[in-house]
Amino acid sequence: MAERSPTLQAFLDVLETTILDVSDAGSDHARVTKKTFAALTEPGPQTPRLRTENPACTHIQPVLDTARNVRSVKALATAFRALEPEIAWSARADRKTGDPNFPNAHATGMIIGDGGLEARQDLRMGASLLAPNTFYPNHQHPPEEVYIALTPGHWRQEAGPWREPGIGGLVYNPPNIIHAMQSGASALLAIWMLPPG
């Protein structure tokens, strides 16, 4: 059986605890988190990465400093900081906006799944980063999804209103729903997971 790196395991443990602590017992947030972590009990193939970055990554450390002052996400921000030097951040070439700076203003860091630290096909987990005042365009995917926000930021589903979960807040996206994100005056950093089908 593959052995998971202690840094990744520590991050996963804190992520699970943090989300379950802030979610209601019967919520979709809790259900998706439990489903994801039940699958993660069995480690997949470990695929160490050399860290890569783009200009948006200059925002990571400052927003983690802020998150570490917020009690509900202090441990998660600390565990993510420890894991972050292993993450290969990159811009998503398949996401298009009218903003010519968009490729330099966002980055995705895969944690679990293709391009991540644990290559497996049954589920995906990663981090999304937006520089201040950046719009991340509409997208959709068959798996449902849970985000936990480590910063302020706005989320939208279909043509609905923008919502602000706040630091430590959660977002649930049902399967295939169209959704988008938008940062305000500060950068947006959030961890997301797509559970097994």
Residues that bind Fe ion (CB under 5 A): 145
**Nearest distance in Å: CB 126, Fe ion:** 10
Residue 127 burial by CB count (10 A; 0-12/13-18/19+): exposed, middle or buried? Answer: buried
Nearer to Fe ion, 28 or 66 (CB): 28
Task: Give the other-Cβ count within 10 Å of 42's Cβ.
Answer: 11
Quote the CA–CA distance of 109 and 9 in Å, as a whole number.
17
Nearer to Fe ion, 18 or 173 (CB): 173
**Nearest distance in Å: CB 179, Fe ion:** 6
Nearer to Fe ion, 60 or 193 (CB): 193
Closest residue to Fe ion using C-beta atoms? 145
Going by C-alpha positions, the residue among 31, 36, 37 that lies closest to residue 13 is 37
CA atoms within 13 A on the CB side of 55: 7
CA 104 to chain centre: 18
**Nearest distance in Å: CB 173, Fe ion:** 6
Nearer to Fe ion, 118 or 145 (CB): 145
**Nearest distance in Å: CB 141, Fe ion:** 6
